[in-house]
Structure 1
Amino acid sequence: MNRLATAWAIFQGLLLEALPFLLIGVLIAGLARWLSPGGRWLQRLPQHPLLGPLVGAGLGFALPACECGNVPVARRLLADGAPLGTALGFLFAAPVLNPIVLASTWAAFPHQPWLLAARPLAALLLALALAAVLQQLPEGELLEPALLEERRLGQPLAVVGLLERRSGLVGAEPAATRARARPQRPSWTSVLEHSSREFLDLATLLVLGCAIAALVQTLLPRDWLLAVGSSPTLSVLSLMLLAVVVSVCSSVDAFLALGFAAQITPGALLAFLVLGPVVDLKLLGLFGVVLRPRAIALTAAASGVVVLLLGQWVNLALL
């Protein structure tokens, strides 16, 4: 009974922590859909493999949401035709590169200036690496099928042919006519209905992810992972696993890390603060509305390798 009560308490805490940011993300996505129907300005963002992800990461400064809230926003970017690299850069970097997370990191570690610079820099490097890796996959193998179809519908026929759209556009007006026509702004009722459905779908996945994270946390005590905190390599690996299991939002993870920062190496601390906002148990389900399972697995594997290397480098430099 004690374990069940602990799991229930952890589940409630994770869910109550994440739901407001998920709602903020859905509202931002809905507002973007209303303000810019068709998302034509997004299609003018840079396609460059380096500049695109950098621009996407920069968008995180304007959107105060954690990783849960960034998923619906990134999905809207992709659906409206934003360059793939830009949307991926936002999805992976914005959970750290936003004002709330940067302020919480400073508040938790005001006497460790290296961490205040290393966390956003490491998050940016991780986002660039993930964008570069995932863009090696064709869009058809990368994006979730419903999102891929919605994305293709929003692109001009010169880019995506009728056969690729798969949505009954054969016989539609000529491409030149469609290019001149401006997309109509949807009604508030339509936007609210769409956003409500999206929120309920994502909330269902979030509940499932929080339940899994709570059960795993209950069965795998944190003390086991913190026991190897002084080992340069094992400490990084253990804190990476802890970040995945704990599944705490990036807006408050710095305060959680403050409780055990003195027991672990600097590289392990950085690994915990960088990996968690990109890969954790509650996020894996949410990623399913953006990426295919193979792409999610590739994201998790590549993130683990990059964060392990970053943590090892920090330990070599500071220990």
Structure 2
Amino acid sequence: MDKLATAWAIFQGLLLEAIPFLLLGVAIAGLARWAVPPGAWIERLPKNPLLAPIIGALMGFALPACECGNVPVARRLLASGAPMGTAFGFLFAAPVLNPIVLASTWAAFPDQPWLLVARPLGAFLLSILLSLLLVQLPETQLLATALLEERRMSQPLSNLGLLQRSSGVIGGSPSPPRSMRGRRLKGWQVLDQSCREFLDLLALLVLGCVIAALVQTWLPRSWLLAVGGAPTASILALMLLAVVVSVCSSVDAFLALGFAAQITPGALLAFLLLGPVVDLKLAGLFTVLMRPRAILITAIGASLGVLLIGQWINLWLL
């Protein structure tokens, strides 16, 4: 009963911490859907494989949302026809490259200037790496089915054939009239779409929080912190801890402050880099964006990238 009570307390904490940011992300996506006519600015985004994720990552500076809030915004970018590199660059970098997270990292570690530089720089490099990795997959193998159909409907016929676009000629939903492109949606339409999107994402978030709470309860942190002094083992342990704890990036620096003295610098940075990209709470949310294979590639790529960054930091500082 004690463990169930602990799991319930952890579940409530994770959910209450994440809901405001999820709501903020849905609100930002809905506001963009209403204020900016479809296609008005998407076509101006660079399509260069390297420049696209860089622009997407830099967009994170303007949005004060953690990883939960970035999912609906990234989905809106993809559904609107934005370059995949831009959307994924934003998805993976914005949880760290935003004002709230940068300020919280500085507040938690004002006496470690290297971390104030290494965390945003590491997040930026990791987002570029993951974006370049994912865009190698065809859209049909990368994007979730519903998102893929919505994305195709937003693209002109010059980019896609009728069969690809699933137009009204060969089954599926009819394509919207060309006159609808560039027309602003009505407020009630945006509100209805945003409410449904929030409820769908909330259900997935609840599932992720349940899994994270159960795993965190039966896998005590003391087991992972016991190897804090070993250069490589400490990094691997803190990466696993970041996945299990599933705390939002806006407060993870204060959590890390509690055990920072027990672990290596590379392990500390690994904890602060991997959690915003891959954790149990995000597993369900990512299903509205990517197929299972793409999610697995993201998890493996992020883990290897963070491990290499952590090892380099330990070689530099130890």
1:245-256 alignment to 2 at 5 Å? 245-256=244-255
Deviation at 1:318, TM superposition (A): 0.3
Superposition misfits of 4+ residues, deviation over 2 angstroms: 169-175, 180-184
Q: Secondary structure at the match of 1:110?
A: coil
1:21 aligns with 2:21: yes
Is the Cα–Cα contact under 8 Å of residues 228 and 262 in structure 2 kept in the other structure?
A: yes
The root-mean-square deviation of aligned C-alpha atoms, in Å, is 1.7
Alignment of structure 1 residues 1-319 onto 2, 5 Å = 1-168=1-168, 178=178, 182-319=181-318
CA drift of 1:173 comes to 11
The answer (yes or no) to whether the contact 1:236–1:268 under 8 Å persists in 2 is: yes
Q: 2:285 & 2:39 partners in 1: Cα distance?
A: 23
Q: Equivalents in 2 of 1:41, 1:265: separation in Å?
A: 44
Paired with 2:189 and 2:10, the residues of 1 have a C-alpha distance of: 36
Question: 1:54, 1:89 within 8 Å by CA — same for their partners in 2?
Answer: yes
Q: Is the 8 A contact 2:105 2:116 kept in 1?
A: yes
The residue identity in structure 2 corresponding to 1:302 is G
SS at match of 1:64: coil
3-state SS, counterpart of residue 156 of structure 1: coil
CA distance in structure 2 between the partners assigned to 1:10 and 1:275 by the alignment: 20
Q: Tell me how far apart the structure 2 counterparts of residues 10 and 167 of structure 1 sit (CA, whole Å).
A: 46
The question of whether the paired residues in 1 share the 8 Å contact of 2:54 and 2:86 is answered with yes
For 1:247 and 1:167, the matched residues in 2 are separated by: 41
- CA drift at 1:187: 1.1
Contact 1:26 1:69 in 2 (8 A): yes
Greater shift in the superposed pair: 48-57 or 229-238: 48-57
Contact 2:30–2:190, Cα closer than 8 Å, also in 1: yes
Give the counterpart letter for 2:87 in structure 1: A
Cα displacement (A) at 1:181: 6.1
Relative distance call for 1:40 and 1:160 in structure 2 (3 A) is farther
> TM-score scaled by structure 2?
0.97
Q: Which amino acid letter does the alignment assign opposite residue 190 of structure 1? A: Q
Contact residue 40 and residue 81 of structure 1 kept, 8 A: no
Q: Which runs of 5+ in 1 are unaligned?
A: none
Contact 1:206 1:282 in 2 (8 A): yes
- Alpha-carbon distance in 1 for matches of 2:46, 2:309: 28
CA distance in 1, matches of 2:244, 2:311: 21
Give the Å deviation of 1:43.
2.2
- Tell me which amino acid in the other structure corresponds to 2:49: P
1:156-212 Cα offsets, whole Å, 9 max, x none, are: 10001111111425699999x93x764321111111110000000000000000000
Is the contact made by 2:39 and 2:181 (CA closer than 8 Å) also made in structure 1?
no
Equivalent pairs counted in the alignment come to 317
Question: Shift of the alpha carbon at 1:42?
Answer: 1.3
Scaled by the length of structure 1, what TM-score is found?
0.96
Cα distance, 1:27 vs. partner? 0.4
- The offset of 1:293, in angstroms, is 0.5
Once the two structures are aligned, what percentage of the paired residues are identical?
Answer: 72
2:19 partner amino acid: L
- Contact kept in structure 2, 1:33 and 1:191, CA below 8 Å: yes
Deviates more, 1:293-302 or 1:30-39: 30-39
Q: Distance in 2 between matches of 1:24 and 1:169?
A: 38
Cα distance in 2, alignment partners of residues 145 and 174 from structure 1: 17
